[in-house]
Structure 1
């Protein structure tokens, strides 16, 4: 019974869509455009998208065709379809590179990427957006940069420049977060490179001080005292109130690494704590250690008196 009801609903929906398409086919270009404008005014963006698409497909060379393509970008953007909005903007820019309102297409493309990260959770919960994937923020920054460089006198350029400042700060903060993650993983070369990248490429952002602090700590862990000292001097001179400084003394986030130079140079891939016997590997050492721990945990009455080699125990006596 439920299946029949679902089929009936689906049939009615398809019929309604077909009826609507049939009605749209009967409308003139001017009427379709008027209805699309009315839907935009009423914030019925799905309807506006459908009307504008119908107008463009039925009258591709009509008087409203170019305007419909431009307003379709806006309808997609307001309907929270950022990928469709960016695709429509790319198409308009490709077809009409000399259009007097092509700067608007660039601006909407940047806005679509700008809002792509700001979903419902980001709007209503205190999320740190700089810790999220910066892909959309980077795309938005690039689109706004194209707009301001190609159309510096555009009416949208001032807003685009303000958004670029915000996005640049976010991208710089993201680089710092990545560098701090590398510190916790003891990947000090990668952390130092991230800090240097922030200092060299994101000047005049609040993250420059954090980038210098990353460099100081990473160089200290690597034993590069000269580089650490010069970075610390720059940090003290330009950011004397930075949280990593306590009365002029640098306070590292992570404890100093006690590993050998080879372990530090290989980012922990090669440890030198214990000596390997010929033919032995780190994996076999781990298995041996686990076996010994399990054997020690056995009751005394179950422990064997026969002393076997680690190879015998590892192979369960198959090669004794």
Structure 2
């Protein structure tokens, strides 16, 4: 029979074995994979929409292939995977890191395009259509950041395959920013804050030229001057409105309905 001290030794040894087994990390199936295989597996997971599985693979590839173009590609793939997984903060952080580490990368145009796209979509929101709420009625910080990313892309890489879509989205964003000022101006006007309404509407006219929102902005300015009993400025504004928008529906029908948004492009 075992003595008490012997049992204690066996017990301690057993506990040590169990602890060692418990602390032993699970085998990493990618340990024997080549960087190209990891990339291929990550792309397959991404193609299947398994973003939660694709992201760790691209992270491993980034470390495994450090210092190579494949590592740069892994970063971009990871950023896109975060974006598709509705994780914009992680996606933007990955892009920022990419831009700092690889300022001369051949994939910089795509990084800028993805940065603009993430902010563009994040600002619009997935429920924008259901709420009939357009970009102009939301916070404009993301729209401005999106515009700057697209602007940098078309400036640095005018022949990039992403440049045409970027230019189209820049036009949309400019229209949106102008419409935002008009949205605020209309808010002030309906609450009889006519001076504030004029100021915001004038911002849309002067800061964002040749945009559709200018028509409503001039109309709000005209109405506000009329409400302030300033007929000369009212009539001057009306002449400008008629000259620039000779077929303006605002003069005939007033404010437009919100049932048919001007902004549905994507």
Task: Tell me if 1:212 matches 2:215.
Answer: no
Structure 1 unaligned regions, length at least 5? 1-14, 254-320
Task: Tell me if 1:151 matches 2:168.
Answer: no
Alignment partners' CA distance in 1, 2:179 and 2:53: 40
- Equivalent position of 1:78 in the other structure: 84
- Equivalent position of 1:178 in the other structure: 184
Which structure shows the bigger proportion of residues in helix conformation?
Answer: 2
Structure 2 unaligned regions, length at least 5? 1-21, 257-266
Alignment partners' CA distance in 1, 2:198 and 2:53: 52
- Maintained 8 Å contact 1:29/1:62: no
Equivalent of residue 48 in structure 1, options 24, 48, 54: 54
- Maintained 8 Å contact 1:195/1:212: yes
- Equivalent position of 1:271 in the other structure: none
Equivalent of residue 245 in structure 2, options 220, 225, 239: 239
Alignment partners' CA distance in 2, 1:67 and 1:91: 13
1:220 Cα deviation after fit: 2.7
Equivalent of residue 117 in structure 2, options 111, 114, 122: 111
- Greater RCO, CA 8 A, separation 6+: 2
1:69 Cα deviation after fit: 1.2
Alignment partners' CA distance in 1, 2:56 and 2:86: 15
1:115-134 matches, within 5 Å, as 115-124=121-130, 126-134=132-140
Alignment partners' CA distance in 1, 2:196 and 2:131: 32
1:123 Cα deviation after fit: 4.5
- Equivalent position of 1:190 in the other structure: 196
Could you report, residue by residue, the CA deviation over 1:250-302 in whole angstroms, capped at 9, with x for unpaired residues?
x799xxxxxxxxxxxxxxxxxxxxxxxxxxxxxxxxxxxxxxxxxxxxxxxxx
Larger radius of gyration between Structure 1 and Structure 2: 1
Task: Tell me if 1:87 matches 2:93.
Answer: yes
- Maintained 8 Å contact 1:144/1:161: yes
Alignment partners' CA distance in 1, 2:72 and 2:255: 59
1:25 Cα deviation after fit: 4.3
1:1-320 matches, within 5 Å, as 19=26, 22-62=28-68, 64-124=70-130, 126-246=132-252
Return closer, same or farther for 1:229/1:125 CA change in 2, 3 Å cut-off: closer
Alignment partners' CA distance in 2, 1:238 and 1:118: 30
Q: What is the RMSD computed on CA atoms of the aligned residues? A: 2.5
Alignment partners' CA distance in 1, 2:71 and 2:124: 32
TM-score of the two chains, using structure 1 as the length reference: 0.66
1:106 Cα deviation after fit: 0.2
SS at match of 1:23: coil
1:57 Cα deviation after fit: 3.1
Return closer, same or farther for 1:243/1:63 CA change in 2, 3 Å cut-off: closer
What is the aligned residue count? 233
